[in-house]
Amino acid sequence: MLISGASVAGPALAYWLHRHGFAPTIVERAPALREGGYAVDFRGEAHLSVLRRMGILDALRAARTGTGSMSYVNSAGKPQAKLPADLFAGDLEVLRGDLARILYDATKEHTEYVFGDSITSLSEDAEGVHVTFERGAPRRFDLVIGADGLHSRTRSLVFGPEERFVKHLGVYCAIFTTDNHLGLDRTGHAYVTPGRLVTVYSARQNREAKAVFYFGSPLLDLDRRDVTRQQALLTERFAGNGWESDHLLERMRQAPDFYFDSVGQVRMDSWSRGRVALLGDAAYCPSPLSGMGSGLALVGAYVLAGELAAARGDHRTAFARYEREMRVYAEGCQKMGDGVAKMMVPESRLLAGFLNRYYKVMPYLPGKNMPAKMARKAAENITLRDYTAELSTR
């Protein structure tokens, strides 16, 4: 079975496929594992139980960021308001790069990894899928799973152009690693101006920091691989913005892991067609603003592999059951990203001022814990079958 994408969903699926007796191959466009990236969080028993069953929960806890509350600051860096850790970090927060490394280590002995290549065409017949690659020789696989993210090549090849399925949320995001020059101790600072948000939070036991820039914009005609143009655009948008913006823009040029992309959600009526299915962000990206993407991908991988095993490889039955089990859950997680962009990146000076005042009084309001409770409810809104136990009784 071929899996496209070696970030989170793909290796998680490979782990469970091997557990159920399948032989997975992962192809990844990048030449190696992608380091860096933002912090991702897990919350609720559904997320944690999958990590526990995979045997990687302890490793993730050892790599946890331990990030506490997030402080909103003024242009002088003085804290004006503080939002609770549970709203941002859930029960367990790790850097995406650390999660990817742990998943790779858990799968590399029984999964064929092909880095530096990508799918160029898929041709299905009654016996399987003929796959051609950008660099490697053509191969045949029984099934193909697209776990290749928001801009999935697999989805485009099988279902159609990206604009049919990706809803732009009106925001762009950039993130990179920098030095912890603010001396942050397992915490973060955020600075809001009209149409822009800059955050910095400590990482890896405070030895470094992550700088994150958000700005409001309609879709732009940008090459996703043109880092020079992306950094120039970010400089245009944030130069003279105040607080640490200019300093961070200077540090950006030396960052080893600069990442830039639009923020969007993926909405599809079906996640499979023939012998090809989609997983994680490729199928139901809730957007990074939801805080649900990695947990949703891991749950989806567990369910998809389990249904393939339960159906004894009958992909028609397995794909239908996978969608039935995951559809409501995925849609609930996506709702956590709805409307967040306008709250994070206020369009006007008036709204930015209002939000800064609201964050000051939020800790004293009766509903202060409501956002975190809603996120937890969405994360736990699925009952996971114990596929291993069910299969052992057959």
Of 55, 132, 126, 47, the closest CA to residue 90 belongs to 47
* pTM score over 0.75: yes
Please write the tens of the pLDDT for every residue from 81-138.
Answer: 777 666 666 788 888 999 999 999 999 999 999 999 999 999 999 889 999 999 999 9
Model pLDDT, residue 392: 73
Can you tell me the distance from the alpha carbon of 293 to that of 9, in angstroms, rounded to the nearest whole number?
Answer: 10
Can you tell me the distance from the alpha carbon of 88 to that of 190, in angstroms, rounded to the nearest whole number?
Answer: 12
Give residue 383's identity as a one-letter amino acid code.
T
Q: What residues contact residue 88 under an 8 Å CB cut-off, 6+ apart?
A: 41, 67, 70, 188, 291
DSSP states of 361-375: HGGGSTTTTHHHHHH
Radius of gyration for the alpha carbons in the chain, expressed in angstroms and rounded? 21
Pick from 123-127, 264-268, 351-355: least confident: 351-355
Q: Which is more confident, 192 or 336?
A: 192
Please write the tens of the pLDDT for every residue from 9-62.
Answer: 999 999 999 999 999 999 999 999 987 677 888 988 899 999 999 999 999 999
Of 178, 296, 198, the closest CA to residue 241 belongs to 198
Domains and CATH numbers, the chain: 2-345+372-392 (3.50.50.60)
What are the tokens at 212? 């994150």
